[in-house]
Structure 1
């Protein structure tokens, strides 16, 4: 769901079933509000109501007056109730496109500078063009009455709650220390042994024990500092590629896990979205959306030991 942050907006947005959003001073623009369940208790004094399974949300960002669109909606969403909202053209899918996933279709008669057809259909938002000459003819537009429609049927997840099946690829993943780190541990052990032996051989017999103890303490402090500086998260990623006629869909999956717990973050791009087992999963990993002073957004999380996101 898109939230428009106006100048002067700041603080933390929290509501029932909503992933918390932290907005530092100076944050403006559209940010995604991820609602993971039934209607929330409200957001910043505004009541929220969930759409029913029979309702479809249409955003009209066209400048032309609306006419009879019953044929269009019957073809796009047969048997569904249409909930229509006006949208200023300059706001059409502005900000990260995932913020607009609650919109089922958007009506346009011109493209703004930041509008991306690829990102719209990747988020399963149907594009309705009011006119005979739709942009970017390479896409498989189809005619519905006096409109042109781009609405590919894409496979995959539709929303942030993917269930346990979304984690089946890493069901048997047991993340440990990477090979490079293991090699370094062996090398450090050899160095410590050599330093201890050197202290015992070069220093007089009476002072050998204190010297060895001093070497051991220095090595232990250094090892602990080095261990604390190591990343606590492990990362596994891969792609799923689906080719359907003229369209190629590429889904990039990234999994994070930790054996001892750790904090991580991922910068929000147009289509970057966390995938959760259920709504309670977001609470277990303390998922939140963080805005920064430079205008960037990040999904931030804290993984307990032996958990995955």
Structure 2
């Protein structure tokens, strides 16, 4: 399906819409003709990234001030010790890792997005990498499914340029509340994967500093936005039963910025999941023996027992949808990150 530009509003809101969604069917070369069909764990996956949300803030504010995030952890699987990309702790490179399942460094098979602005060139992820780069959007599209992107920063238009036929709707709106309104209005549409980017903590962190009063207020605002999304998903029993929600961040932050990839406050992030395909109140490291809690270490790629990374969003979502991993991806390519206890 080819997405077409509908409007570019003065509020920096861009909406692209495609044809109606259809059910995901795995390609014949993955599940051979005549092979018994496997039931997907989820009919739809919603991935949420809260830009610049630090673990220190989540811990400081606690359950009383972040009721929705703490309920998310209480009814799902989570860790507050996941990792960003190793090379950089900035927005666009880490978010591109989330949807491609790749590291950043192009020379080592990464996606190559090393900038964090609206520059016109390179115009696509593929141009940045110097090779073809697929994504969770292209994997779902190849199986006949539908996807959508809702983002609060204009730089995410890079994704629509990179995978124009695979993202059926792109909405970019700097007003996070209005953005969530538009996502909620889209929920009745039969989509297999949605990505929601929320920006309040990052905006406040740059303006006032991480852990400042305005920053903590922005984290509380994000908690309320997540609560609205979860409530809307759960409002329809069938949708609630068929949807898994994933939540992470692109980076934390310390003082006035977040661009020091060697700082714990910058590279340590949350990673959460909730839904009918997820156990309640479990720690991701406790139920995943092939992954190891890194403590305070920054970690490297290729570890025998790696940490949970935000770059695992793509292949975890595809695993939940019973689809093969993103071609050329690295993170969770074996699709062994569990959301349920093996016991």
TM class, shorter-length? under 0.3
TM score, norm. by length of structure 2? 0.22
* Structure with max Cα Rg: 1
Structure showing the higher helix proportion among its residues: 2
Point out which structure has higher relative CO (alpha carbons under 8 A, 6+ apart): 2
TM score, norm. by length of structure 1? 0.24
Structure showing the higher strand proportion among its residues: 1
